[in-house]
Structure 1
Amino acid sequence: MTGMTPLDLDAYFSRIGYAGPHTATLDTLRAIHLCHTQTIAFENLDPLLEQPVRLDLESLQRKLITDARGGYCFEHNTLLQHALETLGFRVKGLAARVLWNAPQETPPHTHMLLSIDLDEGHYIADVGFGGMTLTAPLRLQSGEEQETPHETFRLQDTVHGGYLLQVRLIDGWRTLYQFDLQPQHPADYTMYNFYVSHYPESRFVHHLIAARPGVGHRYALLDNTLTVYPLGGEHETRRIDSVFELRMILEDTFGLRLPDTSMLDARLKGILKHSGQSSE
């Protein structure tokens, strides 16, 4: 991936708290992957506020690094791709059909992940799948159960030559998405990104979504419901009933510097009203 604006690698590493070696190794990949996911939250404030989601590197650096915001898959994984390529990794962008809680049998490509060619073999990386994002890269090896700092995952072959990514939860294995190894290009992601951020039935347009894995747990916010998922334990859910508390959770729990616009409070009030909660 190339662009006119170079990546400020030191600023990216400072943002995610990575202080390790600048080498294109599996250990480096694992460390960066974990630091990124635990620091830069998944969030959809721009589509919710009817603001454009830009995927050029200058915009990504300003939003996710300088402005201390988060984003969704296309932003997270595009930024990670730039960082890994700057370090000398061999990276390809891929696309996936999301099957996690999907109402359609064959949904469109709406997700981005990365394929990485290492001396140890082929791996996938994905720092942008919301409440169940990977916290470590996975070997591109079908049928092998692979532990991460959070859940255990596996890849399964499909009849069409692709893969299913699955996670093991308390109630068994659940499928997250389906992908193949067809390389994607910036123009492809521009189209997918526009669909996700503008399609009238897209959940990113109508719902407040934020997620971040922590040490030993995950945080997830859907509209005015905050859920904490301890690893291996029962989840805890809390309803939020004020704009002030929603803002505090976005800032403190998810580490976001909120956009300075009056439209944010208006949209948060709308979320609370739709959920039947107070908006004060």
Structure 2
Amino acid sequence: MLYSFDAPAPDGDFPDPAPSGGDFLARYLARIGYAGPVAPTLDTLAALQAAHQAAIPFEAMDALTGEGVDIDPQAIAAKLIDRHRGGYCFEQNGLFLRVLQAIGFAAEGLLGRVRWMLPADAPATGRTHMVVRVTIGGRPWLVDVGFGATVPPQPLALDDAMPQPTRHETYRVRPLDAGYRVEADIAGTWQTLYDIEAAPAPAIDFEIGNWYTSTHPASHFRHQLIAARTTAEARHGLRDNRLTIRHVGGNIEQRYLSADEIEAALADIFLLTPEPGWRRAIERAATAEIAG
């Protein structure tokens, strides 16, 4: 079955957010440049997801620089809304979950294990990825605004294992014994993104997953500069000094950047204002040798 959501995300300039003391939902909608209907419907969900991904970039600079990542709801709102920063899954999907619940959606957070770019027989990874499950009219949908350059760009039906085309890749969700496996068709091959547990996770499990992701020496966010942004026209990904732009239609641009060019890309492509404390990490990223 095909699922089509004609909800192109706004691109380019976004309105300034309302003052930080204002209403949370109004501040968020201003942040993502969304002025459409706000009702707990599938069309609204898809439109908000697209606008969020285009406006709020995926990034993990605070983990890379050792600043730490605070996933308290107020800290997330202050960072992603008021300071115009981005974040990774616990921040992005934590914010989106709070927004959806404020609108009136039946939404809950789920935890899963990332399998992206791993062989099929690789050992289990930690429970370090957060997504959101939304139930509309009795039907469950997976929504994710925090999985970097391969993030699903629209809601995925959790009760249908058939391929689900999107503006970018085609996805499918296969049932597991206690959850779901989310896959994407990459150049004609199904690649696993992550396995998600069906049972909602308690808050402490998100805290533990975030602590590991932001502080453990094995976390790639502690060693690589990573940023991503998905719009209706293209996916933009930065991994250390390698910038990749995958346009809708298949055209791919890729180039390697100097430190100054990385800083410029963070501002111009990923809509971030580079902070002075980032410069050392940016200079390290500019000398990285990336395999693959």
TM-score for both structures, normalised by structure 1: 0.91
Q: 2:279 aligns with which of 257, 262, 265?
A: 265
- Root-mean-square deviation over aligned CA pairs: 1.8
Q: Is 1:132 the equivalent of 2:146?
A: no
Q: Is 1:34 the equivalent of 2:58?
A: no
Q: Deviations over 1:140-162 (max 9, x none)?
A: 1232221223221111123x242
Question: How many angstroms does 1:15 deviate by?
Answer: 0.7
Q: Secondary structure at the match of 1:68?
A: coil
Which amino acid is the alignment partner of residue 224 of structure 1? N
Question: How many angstroms does 1:274 deviate by?
Answer: 3.9
Q: 1:122 aligns with which of 140, 160, 166?
A: 140
Contact 2:245 2:253 in 1 (8 A): yes
Contact 1:170 1:232 in 2 (8 A): no
Question: How many angstroms does 1:232 deviate by?
Answer: 3.7
Matched positions, count: 268
Q: 1:185 aligns with which of 197, 202, 221?
A: 202
Contact 1:212 1:218 in 2 (8 A): yes
What is aligned with 1:13?
A: 29
Identity %: 36
Gaps of 5+ in 2: 1-20
Distance (Å, rounded) in 2 between the aligned partners of 1:130 and 1:179: 17
Distance (Å, rounded) in 2 between the aligned partners of 1:175 and 1:255: 29
Pairs within 5 Å for 1:150-229: 150-158=168-176, 160-229=177-246
What is aligned with 1:57?
A: 73
Q: Secondary structure at the match of 1:18?
A: coil
Q: Is 1:89 the equivalent of 2:99?
A: no
Q: 1:231 aligns with which of 239, 248, 253?
A: 248
Which amino acid is the alignment partner of residue 40 of structure 1? I
Contact 1:7 1:83 in 2 (8 A): no
Contact 1:7 1:57 in 2 (8 A): no
Distance (Å, rounded) in 2 between the aligned partners of 1:149 and 1:267: 33
Q: Which stretch shows the higher mean deviation, 200-209 or 57-66?
A: 57-66
Distance (Å, rounded) in 1 between the aligned partners of 2:199 and 2:221: 26
Which amino acid is the alignment partner of residue 29 of structure 1? L
Q: Is 1:141 the equivalent of 2:159?
A: yes
Distance (Å, rounded) in 1 between the aligned partners of 2:233 and 2:186: 15
Distance (Å, rounded) in 2 between the aligned partners of 1:7 and 1:151: 36
Q: Secondary structure at the match of 2:91?
A: helix
Which amino acid is the alignment partner of residue 168 of structure 2? H
Which amino acid is the alignment partner of residue 127 of structure 2? H
What is aligned with 1:247?
A: 263
* Off by >6 Å, runs of 4+ in structure 1: none
Gaps of 5+ in 1: none
Contact 1:151 1:231 in 2 (8 A): no
What is aligned with 2:87?
A: 71
Contact 1:67 1:257 in 2 (8 A): no
Q: Deviations over 1:40-93 (max 9, x none)?
A: 100010001101201112111111111111000000000000100001111111
Question: How many angstroms does 1:244 deviate by?
Answer: 1.6
Q: Deviations over 1:205-254 (max 9, x none)?
A: 0100000112221110000000011234142210002x221111001001
What is aligned with 1:47?
A: 63
TM-score for both structures, normalised by structure 2: 0.87
**1:114 to 1:52, Cα distance in 2 relative to 1, 3 A:** same
Q: Deviations over 1:122-147 (max 9, x none)?
A: 11110000010111111112322212
